Structure 1
Amino acid sequence: MSLDDLNDDVTAAYSELDDELPVALDRETKNELAMLTAAFDTAETDEVVRRAIHQLFQTTVDRGTLDFHLRQGYDVTYDEYLSGMTYEEMTGADQYPQRDDERRYQL
């Protein structure tokens, strides 16, 4: 997979998300959401869920977990996704043909 595949998948996933996202919660998750809602003194759980998604995203970026998964699935990093080009494209390494080491020392 490639950077273009990642862009296509992100665009497709974004278009599938509605403003309302029904999520089934287990008992533990409900308890934790209730605790956070009370602690943050919010009337709606939507704000806590938004904060949780932002926190999870930031944590996966900071720890390199997002890059790990993107590299496995798409062979790109988050920085490459943000810039719209791979490191090879940024550095120009993909502009030169590969050297044929077998023929390199033949006369």
Structure 2
Amino acid sequence: MGLDELNDDVTNAYSNLDDDLSVSLDRETRTELAMLSAVFGTDDVDDLLQRGVHMLFRSTVDTGDMDFQLRGAYDVTYDEYLAGMTYDEMTGQDQYPQRDDERRYQM
């Protein structure tokens, strides 16, 4: 897989998200959400869920877990995804044929 497949998968996932996303909560999540609601003084649970998604995303990017997961599944990094091209495409390394190291020093 590569950058094109990742772009397709992200586009498909985005289009599959409904405006009214229904999520069932387990007891632990419900308790934590209630605590956060009380701490931030809000009754808008949607706002807290949005903050949670932003925080998880940021944490995943900052710790390198995003790159690890992307490299394993798509063989690209998050920076490559944002740039729209791989590092090899950026540096031009994919334009040259591979060297044959076995015959390189033969006379």
Q: The TM-score by the shorter chain falls in which range?
A: over 0.9
> Do residues 66 (structure 1) and 77 (structure 2) align?
no
> Which one-letter code corresponds to 1:4 in the other structure?
D
1:41, CA displacement in angstroms?
1.3
> Do residues 31 (structure 1) and 65 (structure 2) align?
no
1:34-53 map, 5 Å: 34-53=34-53
Q: Which moved more, 1:66-75 or 1:96-105?
A: 96-105
> Which one-letter code corresponds to 1:92 in the other structure?
G
Q: Structure 2 length as normaliser, TM-score?
A: 0.96
1:102, CA displacement in angstroms?
2.2
Aligned residues: 107
Q: Which moved more, 1:31-40 or 1:95-104?
A: 95-104
1:52, CA displacement in angstroms?
0.2
**Identical residues among aligned pairs (%):** 68
Give 5+ residue unaligned stretches, structure 2: none
1:1-107 map, 5 Å: 1-107=1-107
Q: CA RMSD in A?
A: 0.9
Q: Segments of 4+ in structure 1 off by > 4 A?
A: none
Matches of 2:15 and 2:31, distance apart in 1:
31
- Indicate the SS of the match to 2:102: helix
Give 5+ residue unaligned stretches, structure 1: none
Please identify which structure carries the higher helix content. 1
Matches of 1:79 and 1:40, distance apart in 2:
33
